[in-house]
Amino acid sequence: MRTTLPLLIGLLISFSAIGQNGNLSGYVLFDNNTPALGASIVLSNETMKKDISTGISGEFIFKNLDYGDYTLEIHSLNAKSKTVHTKVDANTNTINVVLELTDHQDLQEVLVQTKTEKRKIEDEGFAVNVIETKEASIRNIQTNELLNTTVGVKIRQNGGLGSNVQYSLNGLSGSAVRIFIDGIPISTYGSSFSLNSIPPSMIKRIEVYKGVVPGHLADDALGGAINIVLHNSTKTNFNASVSYGSFNTLQTSVNGLYRFDKSGFTVKASGFHNYSDNDYKVWGGQVKVTGLGGVQTPITARRFNDAYRSTGGMAQVGFTNVTWADQFFIGMTASDNYKEIQHGAFMTIMPYKNRYMESDAMLSNLTYKKENLFTEGLDVSINGLYGKRNRVVSDTLAWAYAWNGERAIDYEGNEYQYSWGSQQEKEEYGPILNHINRNVASIRTGASYAINKHHKVLLNHVYSSIDRKDRDDYASDLENTFTGTRELRKNIFSATYELNAFENKLKASVFGKYYQQKTINIDPYVDQNTGEIQDDITRANTTNEGYGFAFSYAIHPNITILTSAEKAIRLPNETEVFGNDGDNVVANPSINPEQSKNYNFGFRLGTFSLKKHDFTFATNLFTRNIKDRIGLPIERTPDEVLILYENQGHGTSKGIDAQFNYTYNKNFAFNFNLSRFDLKVVNRGVEIDVPNTPFFTMNSNFRYSLNNVFQKHSALNLFYTLYFTDEFSYIPPQGNNTTGNEFFNVPQQLAQDFGLSYAFPNQKFVVSFDVKNIFNEALYDNLRVQKPGRAFYLKLNYFINKS
């Protein structure tokens, strides 16, 4: 990587464009100088036609246009339509359009027969949901909360802000689901950089692929993938937000971009800071205090060792919309977090005190993107990352503590300490100050060539590596000398062919994937003959192949059938192979890759319009046939604090997703979705339900918009969201006649949130207020770990955009 990145930079800078073409960009504003978010723009001339929607700041850009005259048709639900003429005769061309606001619109004016980016992606045949973040960006809502309202998605979070999060898609979760930021695996950035660190205001859309993942996201995403697409506007802009609420929770973010129009030189940066005491109340289960004589008394307690802090940012410099690159950036990403650990995998009767984890990352990055490189239809992209990630886990306090935050007492009332000298309730651990230092690298390359409007081929490759060294400050120098190093190398290649036929009614994608992973364990030892320290090197190399397809056909403009299938591979990750003390994970170097044959079949109806009413309905049937499923052991007890990932055997997941959307007069919206499935695995020769998995979930949300409230050209939005999760057990079935099973059940849950946002007339300042878990219900997730109760949050947003 040390020689590769400079070589790539040199090659990329030397590229020059061929042909006379340029970019057309600008802003669409209302006549009160506010951005026209979501306005539809159709660009055309005698030989071509393109369409696009404006972003959150009213920005738009059309790239690689031939020199000549063009017509722009701009439509918005809030203003009169407008047609303007312009010319492209330079590399960079700009035009700003002002629309006249109206109180009433003629629907025929805004009936534009074009597809949004969301609809285009959802028409490709994959079981995919596209989440647009225009409304969420101004609310006090985290990215994970936004995902949790999506059909087929269940966020598994062990507690409050900063706690461990897993993403479940149709029942498959953990590392079976891969998370990407603009196509780059988020795991590269480390634990100090998470989805909740990215405010929705920075996100353009979220793509959720269930089961079958397209080839351009080249990774071992067996259960699905979540791709976060960030705003890529090249216009000067600035956004800042701050939120404060219950449990002393503070969340701030800032991001901005400045571009020099003449040279194309661009500087952009973003940063965030999050903090929470997470001292919410918990009760029930093992939340008890042991008194004299060993008498246990249930109490309501506040979590006292669960604080979280994360800080990070990214700075990049480069060029945008120049002849040799649409985007070329080099920069740095840095992040740091601190997380106190209240308990192990379960909420045991003896919580932790002063056990915590810290991590940081410092990564250099390179981005290059160019459409129509050398020839029309050839697009290339390169993303590289290289740097260091460090993590430390501290557990050095020997005193035992109870849920009231005070030292625990024994049968006779005496305070006592653990004989092994730490909170971790395993004698073989003892006090630790364990460091994990990693050198990480990742490079993702992609090339696509559109042969013509019907045929396209894509080639993608991702390489990633981790070099890991562990050290414990409480171990002796001799013990640390003999601590081994761990290396992991991964290559994934994919090739895709796309077909578009019958006037865009038929869309098909066929792809193949090749997976290769190598692990290296280097363990020092003393040679008995020479007395010298030698290295015992163990290598493992795994290769697999996968393949799949996606197909869609529009029977009618508003009726589309979709089907997809894939043989998918999921390679064990670093934590599952090498272990991780911070997450109480034990190493399992013999774990095998997970395989699955995934199938989807569904259809979408709509959007159907009847006067002021719009309806959309979609459903998807799915099945997953899993071999060597990787997960936690089936047989577990509530007093376990350590986790070992293992191959559980063969399993199946079968179910259905369905969603319904309704809007009235463009200012009232209702969404309802449900997901029901069975997830089974063979345990000791018997097929059982996989424990710790909710099989039935439903979500519903309402939005109502009011204009000109208190002030002209202001906007008030009201939101209500409901989450339903059916009862499930976190241990395997124990038989119908077994008593006490209810202790291991996670009860049926109904959570409700309410929020409002108010945009001031200039649209530069937005304030929002949210109430989470309105009725203070007891909410749980993984292994019945309790989540926060009722909470209140206030958020302020401020936008500046260059017009």
Report yes or no on whether pTM surpasses 0.85: no
pLDDT tens digits along 738-779: 555 667 888 999 999 999 999 888 778 889 999 999 999 999
* 99: DSSP letter: E
Whether 542 contacts 517, CB under 8 Å: yes
The pLDDT confidence band at residue 16, using thresholds 50, 70 and 90, is very low
Whether 226 contacts 177, CB under 8 Å: yes
pLDDT tens digits along 391-407: 999 999 999 999 999 99
> CB-based contacts of 718: which residues, under 8 Å, 6+ apart?
702, 703, 704, 705, 706, 755, 756
Whether 793 contacts 142, CB under 8 Å: no
Whether 487 contacts 520, CB under 8 Å: yes
Q: Which amino acid is at 131?
A: I
| Token pair belonging to 595 | 């395989």
Please, is 340 exposed, middle or buried when counting C-beta atoms within 10 Å of its C-beta (0-12, 13-18, 19+)?
Answer: buried
Whether 740 contacts 109, CB under 8 Å: no
Asked if pLDDT for residue 106 goes beyond 50, the answer is: no
| Token pair belonging to 68 | 């000549």
The pLDDT, as a whole number, for residue 104 is 47
CA-only gyration radius of the chain, Å: 27
Q: Which amino acid is at 782?
A: N
The continuous run of DSSP H or E covering 711 comes out as none
Share of the chain above pLDDT 70, in %: 92
The pLDDT, as a whole number, for residue 666 is 81
The pair phi, psi for residue 233, each rounded to 5°, is -60, 140
CB-based contacts of 496-503 (< 8 A; 24+ apart in sequence): 496/214, 496/215, 496/216, 496/457, 496/458, 496/459, 496/460, 497/455, 497/456, 497/457, 497/458, 498/455, 498/456, 498/457, 498/458, 499/454, 499/455, 500/453, 500/454, 500/455, 500/456, 501/454
The Cα 249–Cα 275 span in angstroms is 6
> CB-based contacts of 82: which residues, under 8 Å, 6+ apart?
73, 74, 97, 99, 100
pLDDT tens digits along 646-675: 888 888 999 999 999 999 988 899 999 999
Higher pLDDT, 311 or 345: 311
pLDDT tens digits along 447-470: 999 999 899 999 999 999 999 988
Whether 284 contacts 787, CB under 8 Å: no
Asked if pLDDT for residue 17 goes beyond 70, the answer is: no
Asked if pLDDT for residue 582 goes beyond 60, the answer is: no
Task: Summarize the confidence of residues 546-555 as an average pLDDT.
Answer: 95
The pLDDT, as a whole number, for residue 599 is 96
CA distances (Å), origin 718, targets 35, 46, 137, 704, 705: 21, 45, 14, 5, 6
